[in-house]
Structure 1
């Protein structure tokens, strides 16, 4: 087990029992996600951008247009990236004790603009495979013009925290006798049936890496 490095920004102030220190649990939360939220300061104001991401080892990659203000501002400044999975709504007998079951990760750091072409392609492959495993080897890869219009940022996972809750309601002792249902409503995300693009010029079967998900 490799533990996460503790910093003033990653030490939990409340509900410390929900914190996790194993770096493998950070990787698991990130690997199970599809979208992260990238928090940056743009022109003195906070901006939070939902975006795709990918992980290679202890580096997180995000990408976007070279014209995006958020990506132009981020390199050299501290950013905060979060990934959250909602696993259930916890219904208690008291509204005060309602809660949610979740897995979440928060990463702080100063991202760098990736300029090495081999790393840029690897980062884009990681982002693509995070959203649709198998798609990088199936679809056309970006050409030189598309690569020139794309910015790739790399963020170290060195400074990160992980927090989770997976339990039922916790009510005050005097409330357990109330005639009120309490429990957990699980939240599950599933894939639907693939919907073909109506602009396809021929009858193309759904590839196995998509139909088998």
Structure 2
């Protein structure tokens, strides 16, 4: 528990799946950190959670992914920024956020059904409603793609929500929140999509 309890503001930490899993499910990307060949490495990745594990994918030719498969542990971090907190002093400016730090041992997914289910779920997370619209994934494509899962062995969330914390200062200055709202824009057609109507799942 010691490394999943932050040294600063430990009361903001949460160790329950009911808090941690929704943050992982909302996040599209994470950072995976590990030590390989005596060097610290950190790689951005898309992520998917199914049950009590995170799933990742890459080309079977990826040296990075092949090295992960032999590691005892990786550290994965996710941060969702919700608002900039504007206080009366720069010192008290902050961010409202939801974050997760977790550790686990990478495993190669060899079972074809589990691998297929992970690819489908990740595709649906990134582009909801698209899997049945797309051309079916072929066995050749499956063979060219490596799937890795990291069972969630240790994890904690840290959350900061609320107004600025310098209310004891009575200076007449504006304080408040500037929301940060990630959103998907209208899809832009590619060069081969001319004349093809936008699919309903992308509207």
Alignment partners' CA distance in 2, 1:46 and 1:126: 30
Of 203, 207, 210 in structure 1, the residue corresponding to residue 195 of structure 2 is 203
Could you tell me whether the CA contact under 8 Å between 1:41 and 1:73 is conserved in 2? no
Q: TM-score, normalised by structure 1?
A: 0.88
Consecutive unaligned residues of structure 2, counting only runs of 5 or more, are none
Equivalent pair of 2:15/2:155 in contact (CA under 8 Å): no
**Aligned residue number for residue 135 of structure 1:** 130
2:69 is matched with: 75
Q: C-alpha displacement at 1:122, in angstroms?
A: 1.1
Q: How many residues align?
A: 202
Moved over 4 A (4+): none
2:74–2:106 contact (8 Å) kept in structure 1: yes
**Equivalent of 1:17, from 4, 11, 20?**
11
Q: How does 1:38-117 map to 2 (within 5 A)?
A: 38-77=32-71, 78-117=73-112
Cα deviation per residue 1:16-35 (whole Å; 9 max; x = unaligned)? 12112321111110111111
TM-score by length of 2: 0.92
Return the alpha-carbon distance in structure 1 between the equivalents of residues 134 and 34 of structure 2. Answer: 32
Once the two structures are overlaid, the 10-residue window that deviates more, 14-23 or 104-113, is 14-23
Structure 1 gap segments, 5+ residues each: 1-6
Q: Is the 8 A contact 1:90 1:168 kept in 2?
A: yes
Counterpart of 2:117 in structure 1 is 122
Distance 1:186 1:166 in 2: 11
- How big is the shift at 1:203? 2.5
2-side partners of 1:150 and 1:140: how far apart? 16
CA deviation map 1:72-95 (0-9, x unaligned): 111232101111111011111121
Please, what is the CA RMSD of the aligned residues? 1.6
